[in-house]
């Protein structure tokens, strides 16, 4: 049995590993690990305490996939529910759908008996306020939104605040004792994003993909890139076509070089094959340098450096 994840997932590994050791499923382990990240107020990229969109509202995306059945569930642009990963799992297991958005996802969460919570922590609000009052260029929030939408060259705005925009996500992949794989992704997306913007995390094939026969992959980073390149599915597909895990992940990262993008790009992934080999890749050298893993024989998780595959910067000007 094995758990891997982005560095911020470590807070939930103890419980995830306990579930696997008890004979629990990969799906249960993934959901439990992600719960910890979603409730961690110090993590400003996932769940409660996540940084808000440009209007100051926390909007969450998440997805979960079962490698045994290829069943998947996802939610996007969810407000006021702390555990989008569990809403996503509910979608997968109880509805004949894969994804619910916004109000529909919130309604479904209510039907599942989940409690509402204001997700904007004091700290996240303070970071947001500081950022907004920092933006001397803009008189009002409205002006900022107008510029982001009306300017046909969104890149201009992107240059002003996109470069340093804090972002993050949590990725978790589990292999259980029965040989089943599951993968989960949860995020508050890019801070100060346009309201309703959905990233790669809830898009099956972009930020998350899992298939017992080959392996699984989950992404963090500039989600629009993974959406345009189907990064998570590419890794699994390359394995299906005969590549080893490392080669498959490297090829999916290299594929991103074809994309012209308005932001300075960045992409990261963790991936596992069906035998429990694992890798982490990044286009960057600092922020996302480590991923975390733990086998059933290890007392505690360990961190491992990601392999760097730099991008050529094809930034739209």
Interacting residues with ligand ASP (CB under 6 A): 167-169, 187, 189-190, 199-201, 220-221, 223
Choice between 189 and 301, CB closer to ligand ASP: 189
Distance CA 128, CA 130 (A): 5
169 labelled catalytic: yes
Q: What are phi and psi of 238, to 5 degrees?
A: -65, -35
Q: Shortest gap between Cβ of 155 and ligand ASP (angstroms)?
A: 17
Distance CA 250, CA 268 (A): 11
Choice between 263 and 293, CB closer to ligand ASP: 263
Distance CA 283, CA 250 (A): 10
Q: Shortest gap between Cβ of 295 and ligand ASP (angstroms)?
A: 26
Cα angle, residue 40 at apex, residues 38 and 181 outer, rounded to 5°:
45
From the list 169, 187, 282, 283, the catalytic residue is: 169
Q: Shortest gap between Cβ of 115 and ligand ASP (angstroms)?
A: 25
Q: How many CB atoms lie within 10 A of CB 107?
A: 11
Choice between 32 and 76, CB closer to ligand ASP: 76
Distance CA 131, CA 125 (A): 10
Q: Shortest gap between Cβ of 300 and ligand ASP (angstroms)?
A: 25
Q: Shortest gap between Cβ of 186 and ligand ASP (angstroms)?
A: 10
Kindly tell me the sign of the dihedral angle through the C-alpha atoms of 278, 281, 285, 291. Answer: negative
Choice between 25 and 231, CB closer to ligand ASP: 231
Distance CA 129, CA 127 (A): 6
Q: What are phi and psi of 6, to 5 degrees?
A: -65, 160
Ranges of beta strands (E only) in 113-214 are 170-175, 181-187, 208-211
Q: Shortest gap between Cβ of 223 and ligand ASP (angstroms)?
A: 2
Choice between 176 and 209, CB closer to ligand ASP: 209
3-state secondary structure of 271: strand
Choice between 32 and 227, CB closer to ligand ASP: 227
Q: Which helix (H) or strand (E) segment is 218 a member of?
A: strand 215-221
Distance CA 190, CA 177 (A): 35
Q: Phi-psi category of 271—alpha, beta or left, where left has phi over 0 and alpha has psi -120 to 50?
A: beta
Question: Which residue numbers are catalytic?
Answer: 169
């Amino acid at each position: 049995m094995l758990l891997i994840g982005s560095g911020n997932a470590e807070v939930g590994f103890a419980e995830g590993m306990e579930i696997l050791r008890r004979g629990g499923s990969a799906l249960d382990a993934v959901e439990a690990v992600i719960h910890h990240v979603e409730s961690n107020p110090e993590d400003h990229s996932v769940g409660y305490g996540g940084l808000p969109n440009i209007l100051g509202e926390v909007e969450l995306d998440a997805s979960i996939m079962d490698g045994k059945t290829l069943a998947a569930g996802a939610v996007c642009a969810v407000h006021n529910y702390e555990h989008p990963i569990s809403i996503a799992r509910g979608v997968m297991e109880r509805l004949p759908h894969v994804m619910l958005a916004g109000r529909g996802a919130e309604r479904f969460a209510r039907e599942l008996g989940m409690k509402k919570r204001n997700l904007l922590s004091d700290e996240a609000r303070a970071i947001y306020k500081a950022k907004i009052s920092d933006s001397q260029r803009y008189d009002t929030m409205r002006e900022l939104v107008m510029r982001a939408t009306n300017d046909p060259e969104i890149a201009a705005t992107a240059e002003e605040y996109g470069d340093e925009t804090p972002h993050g996500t949590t990725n978790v992949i589990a292999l259980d004792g029965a040989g089943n794989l599951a993968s989960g992704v949860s995020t508050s997306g890019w801070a100060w994003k346009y309201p309703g913007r959905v990233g790669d995390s809830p898009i099956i094939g972009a930020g998350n993909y899992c298939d017992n026969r080959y392996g699984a992959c989950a992404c963090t980073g500039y989600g629009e890139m993974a959406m345009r390149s189907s990064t998570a599915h590419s890794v699994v597909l390359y394995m299906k076509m005969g590549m080893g895990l490392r080669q498959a992940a490297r090829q999916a990262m290299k594929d991103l070089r074809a994309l012209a993008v308005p932001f300075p790009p960045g992409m990261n992934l963790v991936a596992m094959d069906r035998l429990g080999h694992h890798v982490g890749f990044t286009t960057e050298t600092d922020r996302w340098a480590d991923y975390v893993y733990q086998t059933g024989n290890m007392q505690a998780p360990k961190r491992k450096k990601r392999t760097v595959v730099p991008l050529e910067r094809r930034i739209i000007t």
